[in-house]
Structure 1
Amino acid sequence: MGVAAVLAVSVAACAKNPESIAPAYVSEMTYQNFTCQQLVQEQQRLNDAYAVAEAQQKKARSNDIAGVILLGLPVSSMSGDNIAPQIANLKGQQEAVRKAMIMKNCG
C-alpha cells in the first residue's frame, strides 16, 4: 500500500468535523411538559453545551490531522478526545427542543 493510501486511511479515522456529525434521534416528547420559557432556557443551555463540544471536537480533529501527518496515527481519536457521540446527542436534543417549541407554538 502506498504512502498516499495509508495517509488517506489514517485521515478517514480522524475525528469528524462537528458540522458533518448527524444528530442522534431524541424524541420531542422528552420536552412535552416544558413551558415555552423552559424550552427557551433549555435551547440556550444546549446551544452553550454544543459550542463547548464543537470547540473540543474541532481541536481533536486538528490534533488527529497533525498526528497523522507527523506520526501516521490519529492521536486524539485514540486517546478519547473524539466526542462525536456527544455532539450527535446534543444535536438531537436541540432538534427535539425545536420541534417541541413548534408543537407548543412558542414564539
Structure 2
Amino acid sequence: MRSMSVIAAAIAVTTLGACAQKADRVQATYMSAALYQNLTCEQLVREGWTVSNRAHAAAGKQNRHRLEDEVAITAGVLVFWPALFFTHGNNASTAELAQLKGEMEAIEAASRAKNCGIVFNRA
C-alpha cells in the first residue's frame, strides 16, 4: 500500500507541471511602444482602460483554468485517471494574457515618452 502512495504522489508532482500557470506568473510578451506612439495622452488612457479590462478578464480565466486543472489532477490521481486528460495547461488563454500584459507595458512606455503618467496597478 505504501508503494501506491508513493506512485500517486509521483504522478501528482509530475502532472502539476501540466497545470495552467497562475495569472500573476504569466510573463508579458514583448510589444513595441511604437504601436502607440501616434496616440495622444487621452487616447492612451482610453486604450489603457480597454487593454486593462481585457487583461483582468483574461487573468480571471487563467486562474479558473489553474483551479480546474488542480481539481482534475487531484481527481485523476486519487479517483479516476482519465480526468487527467481534462487539464488546460498553458494554452491560448495563457498566450492571450501574455500578449495583453505586453500591450500594457507598451502603453506605459508610450505614456512615459509623452509624460502622460499612465501606470498600471499590478496585483
Q: So what's the TM-score if we normalise by structure 2? A: 0.79
2:115 maps to which residue?
A: 105
Q: Give 3-state SS (helix, strand or coil) of 1:16's partner.
A: coil
Q: Which amino acid aligns with 1:85?
A: A
- Cα drift, residue 104 of structure 1: 0.7
Following the alignment from structure 1 to structure 2, what is the Cα–Cα distance between the partners of residues 55 and 69? 21
Cα RMSD of the aligned pairs, angstroms, is 1.8
For residues 65 and 41 of structure 2, the distance between their equivalents in structure 1, rounded to whole angstroms, comes to 35
Structure 2 unaligned spans of 5+: 1-5, 78-83, 118-123
Q: Which protein has the larger Cα radius of gyration, Structure 1 or Structure 2?
A: 2
Number of aligned residues: 106
5+ residue gaps, structure 1: none
**1:25 and 1:7 mapped to 2: Cα distance?**
33
The answer as to 2:56 corresponding to 1:46 is no
Equivalences for residues 1-107 of structure 1 within 5 A: 2-72=7-77, 73=84, 75-77=86-88, 83-107=93-117
Name segments (4+ residues, structure 1) moved above 2 Å: none
Identity %: 30
> What amino acid does structure 2 have at the position aligned with 1:105?
N
- In structure 1, what is the Cα distance between the partners aligned to 2:38 and 2:109? 13
